[in-house]
C-alpha cells in the first residue's frame, strides 16, 4: 500500500468517517476515493485530477495536501519535490528526465497547441518551467480567441436585433395600413346605406 493511501485512510478512520462520508463532503466519486486508498492507479483519472482529489481530502483532515499529492506519485519523496538533471526542481507528478527543450511552433488553434504541449510532455523532454511558459502562451491565445468570438457574437446579435426591429416596424406599418383600409371600407359602407 502506498504511504499516502495509508495516511489518508488512517485520517479518515481517526475522524470516524466512512468513504461515503468523505465522498459527500468532498464531492469526489466514491470509486476514486477507494482507488486512492488502495493506490490503484488503473482506476484513477489523470494525475492532475488525482492530485487535486488528494489535496481536497487532505484539507478535510487538516493534512499537508500538496506534500501528500507529491508523495502519492513519488513515494520516495519526503519534501514534495523531485530533482531533475543538474539539480533542477521539477514537478513530482511529471518526472522529466531531460532539460532539452524542443522549439514550439505557433499553433493554428488552441486545440492544436494543447495537443503540441501534450506531445512535448509525453516525450519527457520539457522542464516544468518551460511547460508552464508554453501553457501560459496557450491560455493567452485561447483568451484572445475567446474575446474575438465574444466580439463577433455581440456584433452578430446587434445586426440580428436591428433587422428584427426593422421587420417589426414594417409589419406594424402593414397592420396599421390594413386597419385604416378596413375602417374606411366600413365607414364608406355605412354612409352608402344611410343614403339609400
Asked if residue 56 is part of any domain, the answer here is: yes
Give residue 100's pLDDT.
Answer: 37
Query: What range defines the domain where residue 30 resides?
Result: 3-80
Give residue 142's pLDDT.
Answer: 86
Asked if residue 42 is part of any domain, the answer here is: yes
Which value, to the nearest 10 degrees, does the dihedral of the CA atoms of residues 36, 40, 44, 48 take? 70
pTM confidence score? 0.41
Asked if residue 63 is part of any domain, the answer here is: yes
Asked if residue 96 is part of any domain, the answer here is: no
pLDDT along the chain (196 residues), means of 10: 87 93 93 92 89 92 89 66 38 35 46 64 60 81 87 87 91 91 80 60
Give residue 104's pLDDT.
Answer: 43
Give residue 144's pLDDT.
Answer: 87
Asked if residue 68 is part of any domain, the answer here is: yes
Give residue 8's pLDDT.
Answer: 92
Asked if residue 12 is part of any domain, the answer here is: yes
Q: What is the 3-state secondary structure (H, E, C) of the chain?
A: CCHHHHHHHHHHHHCCCCHHHHHHHHCCCHHHHHHHHHCCHHHCCCHHHHHHHHHHHHHHCCCCHHHHHHHHHCCCCCCCCEECHHHCEECCCCCCCCCCCCCCCCCCCHHHHHHHHHHHHHCCCCCHHHHHHHHHHHHHHHHHHHHHHHHHHHHHHHHHHHHHHHHHHHHHHHHHHHHHHHHHHHHHHHHHHHHC
**Number of folded domains that form the chain:** 1
**CATH number, residue 48:** 1.10.260.40
Q: Which residues pair with 90 in a beta bridge?
A: 82
Amino acid at each position: 500500500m502506498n504511504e499516502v493511501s495509508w495516511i489518508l485512510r488512517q485520517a479518515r478512520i481517526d475522524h470516524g468517517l466512512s468513504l461515503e462520508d468523505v465522498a459527500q463532503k468532498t464531492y469526489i466519486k466514491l470509486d476514486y476515493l477507494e482507488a486512492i486508498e488502495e493506490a490503484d492507479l488503473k482506476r484513477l483519472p489523470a494525475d492532475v485530477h488525482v492530485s487535486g482529489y488528494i489535496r481536497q481530502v487532505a484539507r478535510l483532515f487538516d493534512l499537508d495536501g500538496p506534500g501528500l499529492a507529491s508523495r502519492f506519485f513519488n513515494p520516495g519523496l519526503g519534501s514534495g519535490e523531485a530533482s531533475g538533471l543538474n539539480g533542477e526542481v521539477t514537478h513530482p507528478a511529471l518526472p522529466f528526465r531531460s532539460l532539452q527543450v524542443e522549439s514550439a511552433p505557433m499553433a493554428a488553434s488552441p486545440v492544436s497547441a494543447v495537443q503540441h504541449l501534450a506531445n512535448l510532455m509525453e516525450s519527457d523532454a520539457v522542464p516544468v518551467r518551460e511547460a508552464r511558459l508554453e501553457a501560459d502562451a496557450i491560455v493567452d491565445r485561447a483568451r484572445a480567441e475567446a474575446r474575438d468570438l465574444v466580439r463577433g457574437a455581440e456584433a452578430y446579435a446587434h445586426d440580428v436585433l436591428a433587422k428584427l426591429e426593422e421587420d417589426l416596424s414594417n409589419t406594424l406599418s402593414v397592420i396599421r395600413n390594413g386597419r385604416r383600409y378596413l375602417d374606411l371600407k366600413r365607414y364608406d359602407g355605412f354612409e352608402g346605406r344611410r343614403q339609400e
